[in-house]
Structure formats: C-alpha cells, structure tokens
Amino acid sequence: MQKAVSRIAGSVQVQLADEHIFLTGQVDSWHQKQFAQESIRPHAGQRIICNSLKVVQS
C-alpha cells in the first residue's frame, strides 16, 4: 500500500510503501542516480531502496 508520494530534483519520484522506497524517473548520469539513492538512505530506516532510475544522456 502506498503511503506517500513525493517529487524531488526534476524527474525523480519517490514512493514510500510498507517496507520499500521506490525511486523512479530519469536522471542525466550514473552519478545522479547514485546521489539520489544515497540521499534517501539516511531516511530509509529498515526499508529497502529500489532504485529504478533510468540514465538518459541529453
């Protein structure tokens, strides 16, 4: 069950669900993908981060 949906940094969406945090959307580089994931980690607690961000080069 989805509890909340937030939007951060352009086209990155964050969805919180029971035991998971889902990152979806597009970023410009692998570094941005990792940065988004690591930015969420301190707030994840015991939730599993599922990073489905797609790297799309402009």
Domain range for residue 24? 2-55
Total count of domains within the chain: 1
pLDDT (0 to 100) of residue 9? 52
- Please state, in angstroms and as integers, the Cα–Cα distance from residue 20 to each residue in 2, 40, 57, 58, following that order: 10, 12, 28, 30
Task: Give pTM, 2 decimals.
Answer: 0.79
CATH of the domain at 37: 3.30.1340
Convert the pLDDT of each residue in 1-58 to its tens digit: 334 444 445 688 999 989 999 999 998 889 889 988 998 999 899 999 999 999 988 6
Read off the amino acid at residue 37.
Answer: Q
